[in-house]
Amino acid sequence: MTSLNITADEKSLLSTGQPLVWLNPNYLNAEAAPETPDIAGIYDAEARLLRFAPLLSILFPELIEADGLIESPLLPAPTLNTAINPLGGQLFLKADHELPVAGSIKARGGIHEVLCFAEQLALEAGLLDDTNDDYTKLAQEEGRALFADYTMAVGSTGNLGLSIGIMGAALGFNAVVHMSSDAKEWKKERLRHRGVKVVEHTADYGAAVAAGRAESDADPRSYFVDDENSPRLFMGYAVAALRLKQQLDAAGIEINADTPLFVYLPAGVGGAPGGITFGLKTLFGENVHCFFAEPVQAPCMLMGMAGDAGQEPVPIYELGLQIDTDADGLAVGTASQWVCDAVRHQVSGVYTATDESLYRHLHQLKKLESVEVEPSAAISCRGPAMLNTGTGKQYLNAHNVANSLKNSIHIAWLTGGSFVPDKEYQRYLEKAIKISN
């Protein structure tokens, strides 16, 4: 195995599927991240989403009330806080499971990337004079005819496919989603219903992506969304930080040295949690502490962050693991190298959790806060308990936050769930109740 910043004990826990907290030795070490993206990218993405907002209100009537912005509420969760947070302070749930249009955190990055391509085409074709033009024109005949000449393609285990497919098809693109064998049937159905072409692959996520990329590359009028290497996705995700700051301001919460912010982010290839971390670090600096959360069977971001800058992430297969988890959105074997390099000095650490603990939290969310999420999202509720372990406390002491925990703000980022069909959710819940009793 390539050199990794993990101890023998950590390696043994990882390879035997036991939970742990791994602290990032490169945290705050800016030299470790020669490739830090340009902060201006966040504001560009925010401005683009605003330009498209009137058009999105036309394409998706459910966005009219929010003036075309795709955003989720920040929910206080005092009851759940008592149950899951031994550290003190307040707990909030960032309700991305309710994000309109795509039903998951992928709405942020995926939709932004589709809009980047659409905007570029419309400007080049002269359909838009400039970025101050009226974007609602694109919903008309001429715009749809332009987009119909192009294909938007993506490889996905599910949620990214929903986001790209739904937005691509709504604009008039030929949308093609390459699905891995573990993708849920209801996701394929939902896409077909929207006019998206679903290509089923018998192999895993990596293979679906490779096949999708090859097919798309062969067609000059096809645009491939590359989950493993996409600044456009990343910046779309990062916009969440600007919106979160507004929500904290509205709640009268100011993040500073006495009121530190802890954010727990479910991680797959890394784009969504990485983009959000990048945005939050830009706004709150060392007063925000971002921890990534992964299933014990798929700690790919941990492996990627434990490598050195510019080093290809080591796949979890080298630990002898097989991605055996019900956390669909997190079932990834190899992290994005681009993301690892982008946030190598910004992520505080990574914790892992068993599927059993995800189900316990899925049950608590339902019982205590009436919130329904998919198993992936529930992993974010494990954060405070993991920071209360020996390794977690070592972090709190090293970064001088142990004494301000009573004022601390904790955010469990709920990344998906509202599109899960009720029957499917009931199955999750039944399993969760059985495990919890």
- Choose, by CB under 6 A, the member of 77, 105, 121, 239 that binds ligand PLP: 105
- Choose, by CB under 6 A, the member of 20, 59, 269, 343 that binds ligand PLP: 269
Query: Per rule CB under 6 A, is residue 106 in the interface with ligand PLP?
Result: yes
* Concatenated DSSP letters of 330-361: G--SS--HHHHHHHTTT--EEEEE-HHHHHHH
Indicate the residue among 294 and 369 with the shorter CB distance to ligand PLP: 294
Query: Per rule CB under 6 A, is residue 231 in the interface with ligand PLP?
Result: no
Residue 434 near residue 293 (C-beta atoms within 8 A) = no
Query: Per rule CB under 6 A, is residue 245 in the interface with ligand PLP?
Result: no
Site string for ligand PLP, 324-353 (x = CB under 6 A): -----xx-----------------------
Site for ligand PLP in 181-220 (CB under 6 A): none
Site string for ligand PLP, 371-410 (x = CB under 6 A): ---x-xx---------------------------------
Neighbour count for residue 186 (Cβ, 10 Å): 14
C-beta of 212: minimal distance to ligand PLP in Å?
16
How far is 435 from 286, CA to CA, in rounded Å?
Answer: 38
C-beta of 327: minimal distance to ligand PLP in Å?
8
C-beta of 374: minimal distance to ligand PLP in Å?
6
How far is 132 from 123, CA to CA, in rounded Å?
Answer: 11
Site for ligand PLP in 408-427 (CB under 6 A): 415-416
C-beta of 228: minimal distance to ligand PLP in Å?
9
Query: Per rule CB under 6 A, is residue 110 in the interface with ligand PLP?
Result: no
Stretch near ligand PLP under the rule CB under 6 A, chosen from 19-27, 37-45, 47-55, 267-275: 267-275
Name the token pair of 82.
Answer: 């008592």
Query: Per rule CB under 6 A, is residue 104 in the interface with ligand PLP?
Result: yes
Tell me, by CB under 6 A, how many residues bind ligand PLP: 19
How far is 142 from 128, CA to CA, in rounded Å?
Answer: 11
How far is 245 from 283, CA to CA, in rounded Å?
Answer: 8
Query: Per rule CB under 6 A, is residue 273 in the interface with ligand PLP?
Result: yes
C-beta of 379: minimal distance to ligand PLP in Å?
8
Site string for ligand PLP, 113-152 (x = CB under 6 A): ----------------------------------------
**Residue 321 Ramachandran class (φ > 0 left, ψ -120 to 50 alpha, else beta):** beta
- Choose, by CB under 6 A, the member of 24, 26, 81, 159 that binds ligand PLP: 159
C-beta of 20: minimal distance to ligand PLP in Å?
19
CA distances from 45 to 18, 156, 209, 236, 386 (A): 39, 23, 25, 6, 33
Query: Per rule CB under 6 A, is residue 267 in the interface with ligand PLP?
Result: yes
How far is 41 from 206, CA to CA, in rounded Å?
Answer: 28
CA distances from 135 to 59, 63, 76, 171, 223 (A): 12, 16, 36, 12, 21
Name the token pair of 102.
Answer: 């795509």
Query: Per rule CB under 6 A, is residue 299 in the interface with ligand PLP?
Result: no
Task: Give, in degrees to the nearest 5, the angle at Cα 336 between 331 and 340.
Answer: 115
Indicate the residue among 260 and 313 with the shorter CB distance to ligand PLP: 313
What DSSP element (H or E) covers 223? strand 222-225
Residue 168 near residue 156 (C-beta atoms within 8 A) = no
C-beta of 98: minimal distance to ligand PLP in Å?
12
Give the residue carrying structure tokens 């995800």: 358
279 CB-side CA count, 13 A: 30
- Choose, by CB under 6 A, the member of 80, 164, 272, 288 that binds ligand PLP: 272
Indicate the residue among 306 and 377 with the shorter CB distance to ligand PLP: 377
Indicate the residue among 136 and 425 with the shorter CB distance to ligand PLP: 425
How far is 182 from 234, CA to CA, in rounded Å?
Answer: 24
Stretch near ligand PLP under the rule CB under 6 A, chosen from 51-59, 76-84, 266-274, 304-312: 266-274
Residue 340 near residue 2 (C-beta atoms within 8 A) = no
Residue 348 near residue 29 (C-beta atoms within 8 A) = no
Indicate the residue among 265 and 396 with the shorter CB distance to ligand PLP: 265
Residue 74 near residue 245 (C-beta atoms within 8 A) = no
Neighbour count for residue 323 (Cβ, 10 Å): 19
C-beta of 273: minimal distance to ligand PLP in Å?
5
C-beta of 149: minimal distance to ligand PLP in Å?
29
**Amino acid identity for residue 381 in this structure:** C
- Phi then psi for residue 223, to 5 deg, are -110, 125
Interacting residues toward ligand PLP by CB under 6 A: 104-106, 159, 266-273, 329-330, 374, 376-377, 415-416
